[in-house]
Amino acid sequence: MSSSRTITPGYLTALRVVVTLLAAATLAAAVAAGLLISGAAGMAVHSATAYTTWSLAVLYVIVALLAWWRGGGSRRPAALALGYLVGVSLQVVFGLAHLAALHVPWGVALFAAIALQLGWVWRLKAQSPAVPASEGLRTREASAAVGR
């Protein structure tokens, strides 16, 4: 299964929705982190956006696995999703341990990673619906009849 395989339209749409939501949640977590660092009371908001991001990363893994197994796509989305989930999990650990020297740059790296994945998932192509050979023949016959 190469990374050039196409995916069925429904699974591609699901991947696009999940990755877009995940990118938005990652951005919201960064904005909340900025509020927290600037002294505004942002801890509750940052925590909520962090756990939302982690939950969406789990959903991303599930959708990517389904897109690979059921949707005819490649393993690449599943690998990217799993890597992102590991990264977000580490980010949560760094945050809970108050390791700002790791937490802040890791958050920047996560945002860059999801931005790249967002661009990639929107460039993927869906499978075109298969047209049975007999349908193609009927279409040609109909076109020929109209032209007479």
Q: Examine residue 45 and state whether it is found in any structural domain, yes or no.
A: yes
Element (H, E) at 36: helix 9-37
Q: Examine residue 4 and state whether it is found in any structural domain, yes or no.
A: no
Which domain covers residue 131, as residue numbers? Answer: 9-147
**Residue 109: pLDDT above 90?**
yes
Whether residue 7 contacts residue 126, with contact meaning beta carbons closer than 8 Å, is answered with: yes
Percent of the chain with pLDDT over 70: 81
Mean pLDDT (the chain, rounded): 86
Q: Examine residue 2 and state whether it is found in any structural domain, yes or no.
A: no
With CA atoms as reference, report the closest residue to 106 among 29, 38, 40, 9.
Answer: 29
Percent of the chain with pLDDT over 90: 66
Whether residue 77 contacts residue 121, with contact meaning beta carbons closer than 8 Å, is answered with: yes
Q: Examine residue 1 and state whether it is found in any structural domain, yes or no.
A: no
Q: 61-101, pLDDT tens digit by residue?
A: 999 999 999 888 889 999 999 999 999 999 999 999 999 99
Q: What is the pLDDT of residue 137?
A: 47
- pLDDT class for 133, splitting at 50, 70, 90? very low
Distances (CA, A) of 52 to 21, 32, 82, 89: 10, 12, 16, 12
Q: What is the DSSP letter of 129?
A: P
Calpha distance 120→128 (Å, rounded):
19
Higher confidence at residue 29 or residue 145?
A: 29
Residue 148 identity: R
Q: 46-66, pLDDT tens digit by residue?
A: 999 999 999 999 999 999 999
- pLDDT class for 131, splitting at 50, 70, 90? very low
Tally of domains in the chain: 1
Tell me if residue 9 falls in helix, strand or coil. helix
The DSSP code sequence of 54-119 is HHHHHHHHHHHHHHHHTT---SHHHHHHHHHHHHHHHHHHHHHTT-HHHHHHHHHHHHHHHHHHHH
